[in-house]
């Protein structure tokens, strides 16, 4: 199977500063052959969407450690749809409370990786959600 | 014998039994410390050869203070049991403080929301949802007056667990109330370089401007509010972001030394400011390493102040430590296990001789502390103080070959890294990403070690519990925040606009001229400028965008100079 690059945009919305998880994830995904565009902390929804379009990312990942993720995620997804990029899969990580997962799924979040998630789960999600295979193929998720 | 189990022994395969044994066994999974210092089978006199009691340890309360800052330690002054409180509007946080005081906490640390921590107003169009989350929203002097109604800031010391703007706000309120500033008590954490590193980007808190603001704050405080305590460095956040125990000391000392040198250039000597400074530290999960860290830290601090800065005042050389147990070490799976972790961290801090101590609640990885969890954190310290004997004698682990050897090792590693950072230059090492690179690398290696099983975190990469219902979360009624935001908007319309513009213009000129910006910041706050407006003006005068996020335009016209 031909290898196709998966371009993953990682960012934080709002003023949360708990960035060590997403920064470590960026490096771990690079190790798995994912092309990571690390947009960093303190982004607005508009900033994330501009980067998503400019970088032609296949998937977006956001990390939250504060309680405002429902608001920010809904706002981003609404604005993504308006900007015509509503079909780009969105995954969330960080401190996502299990009680909020149904609401997040309903608003269109495709992957939720809260505490206890593994790299293999994230890698498998990236391949499934983008329909692309990483170097090493399915073995990468084994 | 329990005969009600689903399987009898004969039904079990050998592999099942082996797996069960594995699950309940306690094994040595690591011989290095949590920060990575390799450990021997045992330690003896040869491992501390050359150590001189008077030179390297000293009695508690004696230079170089390795064994403690005070001769009688907790017998003469108990540590201050602190709780962190802060959520919603000032009224909400005030209610939280009253509850914490009822539980028996001696001191309250007030934490601000992420917007107030970064001097962003609660009506910011992009980030307003963050207002009042994770801390108290405190954008103006008027809000501070609500939060501290009836509290005399020259009699009751409030500890502010935040960096930006809080000191000018408190001084502004005290001046407005006609208080004698020389009697102002309380503390905050004026370490903007730490904030720059925590926030993770140069645009929100630029390194150079942040550092200048720290120096401005310490200069102003040393001259005007000598009883105010300065939690500098704020090494807790640096540690949590990702450095080993020695790295906490190295980075913190690099910040302190640069700050003291720049203060000296302004004519403020070490003995005018260091007695007011306290180290804000963490206590991670490796018990012996944390005890060694506190001891090594005091020795490095004392020698640096005396030998490098020429301090002649024992109060400058005797480091006081404000400790918050590590939240990073607490995990989400099976969260009640965090009670055990926090207890060990708290004991390490006490045997390491800290002066104030806040124990993380077990639900730290889940939400901001619930009341029940806060009570358990308070009880943890009370059990250690009253039942365990943690306070009985100073430096009880001093003289242990292992602890002394580890203290020397942490010290040597810290001094080595400090030399490297100073070789590059701290400001440059922050601006060019060297320090963040170190932290990212530490976290990356940490994760790799967990993946390889070289580092076990119970419930995370081994002894994984069965799925359990998510614990309940802290919540509060948002109606206080709605009223607070209304009040904020009304204040912006109703204040004396002429006076405000005049004070903002003066602030702009002060920053441009290079003089200490604090007096003008304080005057602008008294004129009801908000923290976002004051800091935005400081930014514009420093050649930066008013709003780091480039969403809000400055409402002011600035003078041409």
Whichever domain contains B344, its CATH number is 3.20.20.240
Distance of CA B459 to CAs A24, B29, B437, B464, B480, Å? 20, 15, 29, 4, 38
* Contact at CB, B367 and A67, closer than 8 angstroms: yes
Instruction: Name the closest residue on chain A to residue B114, using Cα atoms.
Output: A15
To the nearest whole Å, the CA of B493 is away from the closest chain A CA by 26
CATH number, domain with residue A67: 3.40.50.280
Query: Where would I find the H helices in B364-400?
Result: 371-383
Are the C-beta atoms of residues B432 and B304 closer than 8 Å to each other? no
pLDDT for the residue B30? 92
Task: Read off the tokens for B358.
Answer: 């806040």
Are the C-beta atoms of residues B484 and B132 closer than 8 Å to each other? yes
Question: What residues of B are in contact with residue A44 (Cβ under 8 Å)?
Answer: 126, 549, 551
User: Which residues 115-134 in chain B show a CB within 8 A of chain A?
Assistant: 115, 117-118, 120, 126-127, 129-130, 133-134
- Measured from the Cβ of residue B393, the count of other Cβ atoms closer than 10 Å reads 15
Question: What residues of B are in contact with residue A19 (Cβ under 8 Å)?
Answer: 200, 241
Give CA B374 to chain center in angstroms.
Answer: 18
To the nearest whole Å, the CA of B368 is away from the closest chain A CA by 9
B170 in the same domain as B219: no
Burial of B237-248, coded b for 16+ CB within 10 Å and e otherwise, reads: bbbbbbbbbbbb
Instruction: Name the closest residue on chain A to residue B198, using Cα atoms.
Output: A17
Are the C-beta atoms of residues A60 and A45 closer than 8 Å to each other? no
To the nearest whole Å, the CA of B44 is away from the closest chain A CA by 39
3-state secondary structure of A110: coil
Query: Where would I find the H helices in B308-360?
Result: 314-317, 337-351
Q: What is the DSSP string of B4-31?
A: -SSS-GGGS-HHHHHHHHHHH------S
Residue A15 lies in a domain: yes
Q: Which of B288, B363, B356, B369 is nearest to B321 (CA)?
A: B356
pLDDT for the residue A139? 44
Query: What residues contact residue B522 under an 8 Å CB cut-off, 6+ apart?
Result: B168, B171, B172, B175
Residue B63 lies in a domain: no
Query: What residues contact residue B444 under an 8 Å CB cut-off, 6+ apart?
Result: A24, A27, A28
Task: Read off the tokens for A78.
Answer: 């609404």
- Tell which of B111, B114, B329 to mutate to test the A interface (max A CBs under 10 Å): B114
Question: What residues of B are in contact with residue A72 (Cβ under 8 Å)?
Answer: 129
Residue B51 lies in a domain: no
pLDDT for the residue B5? 44
* A50 vs B556: CA distance, rounded Å: 29
B184 in the same domain as B205: no
Extended strands (E) in B59-153: 80-85, 107-110
Residue B386 lies in a domain: yes
The last residue of a domain, from among B400, B427, B454: B427
B233 in the same domain as B336: yes
Task: Read off the tokens for A63.
Answer: 């990390």
Question: What residues of B are in contact with residue A99 (Cβ under 8 Å)?
Answer: 470, 473
The last residue of a domain, from among B427, B449, B472: B427
- Domain of B554 in residue numbering reads as 499-561
Instruction: Name the closest residue on chain B to residue A19, using Cα atoms.
Output: B200
3-state secondary structure of B135: coil
* Contact at CB, B127 and A14, closer than 8 angstroms: yes
Instruction: Name the closest residue on chain A to residue B335, using Cα atoms.
Output: A115
Nearest CB to B200 within list A41, A45, A71: A41
Q: ω into residue A116 within 30 of 0, thus cis?
A: no
Nearest CB to B133 within list A42, A68, A119: A68
* Contact at CB, B241 and A20, closer than 8 angstroms: yes
Task: Write out B280-304 in H/E/C secondary structure.
Answer: EEEECCCHHHHHHHHHHHHHHHHHH
To the nearest whole Å, the CA of A118 is away from the closest chain B CA by 10
pLDDT digits (tens, 9 = 90+) for A53-110: 999 999 999 999 888 899 999 999 999 999 999 999 999 999 888 889 999 999 999 9
> What are the residues of chain A with a beta carbon less than 8 Å away from any beta carbon of chain B?
14-17, 19-20, 23-24, 27-28, 40-42, 44-45, 66-68, 71-72, 95, 97-99, 114-116, 119
* Contact at CB, B444 and A28, closer than 8 angstroms: yes
Nearest CB to B440 within list A23, A116, A119: A23
* B257 vs B272: CA distance, rounded Å: 15
Q: In what order do the strands lie in the sheet with A35-43?
A: A35-43, A7-13, A59-64, A90-94, A111-113
Residue B12 lies in a domain: no
Instruction: Name the closest residue on chain B to residue A117, using Cα atoms.
Output: B460
To the nearest whole Å, the CA of A68 is away from the closest chain B CA by 6
Residue B7 lies in a domain: no
B221 in the same domain as B131: no
* Contact at CB, A15 and B114, closer than 8 angstroms: yes
B146 in the same domain as B218: no
Grade residue A38 by pLDDT with cuts at 50, 70 and 90: very high
B238 in the same domain as B322: yes
Grade residue A140 by pLDDT with cuts at 50, 70 and 90: very low
B418 in the same domain as B309: yes
Where chain B has pLDDT below 50, the residues are 1-8
Nearest CB to B133 within list A17, A42, A67: A67
Question: What residues of A are in contact with residue B241 (Cβ under 8 Å)?
Answer: 19-20
Task: Read off the tokens for B295.
Answer: 């001891």
Q: Count of domains in chain A?
A: 1
Residue B443 lies in a domain: no
* Contact at CB, B130 and A15, closer than 8 angstroms: yes
B170 in the same domain as B235: no
Question: What residues of A are in contact with residue B440 (Cβ under 8 Å)?
Answer: 20, 23-24, 27
Give CA B316 to chain center in angstroms.
Answer: 20
- Domain of A70 in residue numbering reads as 7-141
Q: Which helix (H) or strand (E) holds B188?
A: strand B186-188
Residue A1 lies in a domain: no
Are the C-beta atoms of residues B110 and B146 closer than 8 Å to each other? no
* Contact at CB, B133 and A115, closer than 8 angstroms: no
B263 in the same domain as B373: yes
Task: Read off the tokens for A37.
Answer: 């565009």
Query: What residues contact residue A113 under an 8 Å CB cut-off, 6+ apart?
Result: A91, A92, A93, A96, A121, A122, A125
Residue B339 lies in a domain: yes
User: Which residues 325-344 in chain B show a CB within 8 A of chain A?
Assistant: 328, 331-333
* Contact at CB, B114 and A24, closer than 8 angstroms: no
- Tell which of B86, B113, B122, B134 to mutate to test the A interface (max A CBs under 10 Å): B134
The last residue of a domain, from among B371, B400, B427: B427
B250 in the same domain as B151: no
Residue A2 lies in a domain: no
Q: Specify whether the backbone of A137 is left (phi greater than 0), alpha (psi in -120 to 50) or beta.
A: left
Q: Is B450 exposed, middle or buried (0-12, 13-18, 19+ CB in 10 A)?
A: middle
pLDDT digits (tens, 9 = 90+) for B438-465: 999 999 999 999 989 999 999 999 998 8
Residue B204 near chain A (CB below 8 Å): yes
Q: Count of domains in chain B?
A: 3
Question: What residues of B are in contact with residue A98 (Cβ under 8 Å)?
Answer: 469-470
Are the C-beta atoms of residues A120 and A139 closer than 8 Å to each other? no
* Contact at CB, A15 and B242, closer than 8 angstroms: no
To the nearest whole Å, the CA of A77 is away from the closest chain B CA by 15
Residue B460 near chain A (CB below 8 Å): yes
Nearest CB to B332 within list A23, A99, A116: A116
B249 in the same domain as B366: yes
Find where tokens 């944390």 sit.
Answer: B290
Q: Is B150 exposed, middle or buried (0-12, 13-18, 19+ CB in 10 A)?
A: exposed
Nearest CB to A24 within list B134, B443, B548: B443
Residue B53 near chain A (CB below 8 Å): no
* B245 vs B470: CA distance, rounded Å: 32
């Amino acid at each position: 199977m031909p290898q196709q690059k998966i371009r993953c945009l990682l960012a934080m919305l709002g003023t949360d500063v708990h960035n060590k998880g997403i920064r470590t994830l960026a490096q771990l995904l690079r190790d798995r052959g994912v092309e990571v565009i690390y947009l960093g902390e303190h982004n607005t929804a508009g900033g994330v969407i501009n980067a998503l379009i400019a970088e032609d990312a296949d998937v977006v990942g956001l990390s939250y450690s504060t309680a405002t993720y429902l608001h920010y995620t809904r706002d981003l997804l609404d604005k993504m749809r308006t900007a015509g990029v509503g079909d780009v899969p969105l995954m969330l990580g960080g401190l996502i409370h299990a009680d909020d997962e149904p609401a997040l799924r309903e608003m269109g979040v495709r992957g939720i990786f809260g505490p206890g998630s593994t790299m293999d789960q994230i890698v498998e999600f990236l391949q499934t959600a983008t329909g692309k295979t990483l170097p090493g193929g399915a073995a990468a998720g084994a | 014998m329990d005969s009600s189990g689903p399987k009898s022994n004969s039904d079990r395969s050998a592999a099942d039994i082996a797996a069960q044994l594995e699950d309940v066994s306690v094994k040595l999974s690591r011989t290095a410390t949590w920060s990575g210092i390799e450990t021997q089978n045992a330690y003896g006199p040869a491992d501390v050869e050359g150590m001189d009691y008077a030179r390297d340890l000293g009695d508690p309360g004696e230079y170089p203070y390795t064994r403690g800052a005070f001769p009688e330690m907790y017998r003469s002054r108990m540590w201050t049991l602190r709780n962190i409180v802060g959520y919603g509007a000032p009224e909400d946080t005030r209610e939280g403080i009253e509850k914490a005081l009822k539980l028996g906490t001696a001191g309250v640390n007030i934490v601000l929301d992420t917007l107030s921590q970064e001097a962003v107003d609660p009506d910011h169009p992009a980030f307003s949802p963050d207002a009042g989350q994770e801390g108290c929203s405190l954008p103006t002097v008027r809000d501070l007056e609500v939060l501290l109604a009836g509290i005399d800031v020259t009699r009751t010391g409030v500890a502010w667990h935040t960096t930006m703007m809080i000191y000018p706000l408190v001084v502004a309120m005290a001046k407005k109330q006609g208080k004698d500033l020389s009697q102002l008590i309380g503390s905050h954490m004026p370490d903007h370089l730490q904030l720059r590193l925590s926030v993770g980007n140069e645009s929100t808190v630029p390194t150079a401007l942040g550092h200048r603001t720290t120096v401005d704050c310490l200069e102003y405080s040393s001259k005007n509010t000598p009883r105010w305590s300065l939690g500098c460095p704020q090494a807790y956040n640096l540690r949590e972001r990702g450095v080993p125990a020695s790295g906490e000391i190295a980075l913190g000392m690099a910040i302190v030394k640069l700050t003291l040198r720049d203060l000296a250039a302004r004519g403020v000597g070490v003995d005018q400011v260091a007695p007011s400074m306290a180290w804000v530290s963490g206590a991670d999960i490796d018990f012996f390493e944390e005890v060694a860290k506190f001891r090594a830290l005091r020795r490095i601090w004392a020698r640096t102040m005396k030998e490098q800065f020429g301090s002649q005042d024992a109060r400058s050389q005797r480091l006081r430590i404000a400790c918050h147990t590590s939240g990073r070490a607490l995990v989400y799976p099976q969260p009640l296990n965090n009670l055990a972790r926090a207890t060990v961290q708290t004991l390490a801090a006490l045997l390491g001789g800290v002066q104030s101590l806040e124990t993380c609640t077990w639900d730290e990885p889940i939400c901001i502390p619930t009341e029940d969890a806060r009570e358990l954190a308070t009880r943890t310290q009370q059990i250690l103080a009253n039942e365990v004997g943690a306070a009985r004698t100073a430096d009880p682990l001093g003289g242990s070959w292992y602890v002394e050897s580890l203290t020397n090792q942490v010290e040597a590693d810290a001094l080595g890294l400090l030399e490297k950072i100073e070789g590059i230059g701290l400001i440059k090492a922050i601006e060019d990403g060297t320090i963040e690179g170190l932290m990212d690398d530490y976290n990356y290696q940490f994760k790799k070690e967990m993946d390889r099983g070289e580092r076990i975190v119970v419930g995370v990469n081994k002894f994984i519990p069965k799925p359990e219902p998510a614990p309940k979360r802290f919540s509060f009624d948002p109606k206080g925040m709605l009223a607070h935001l209304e009040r904020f908007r009304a204040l912006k319309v109703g204040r004396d606009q002429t006076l405000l513009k005049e004070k903002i213009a003066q602030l702009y000129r002060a920053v441009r001229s290079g003089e200490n910006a604090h007096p003008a910041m304080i005057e602008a706050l008294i004129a009801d400028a908000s923290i976002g407006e004051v800091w935005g003006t400081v930014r514009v005068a420093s050649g930066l965008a008013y709003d780091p996020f480039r969403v809000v335009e400055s409402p002011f016209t600035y003078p041409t100079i």
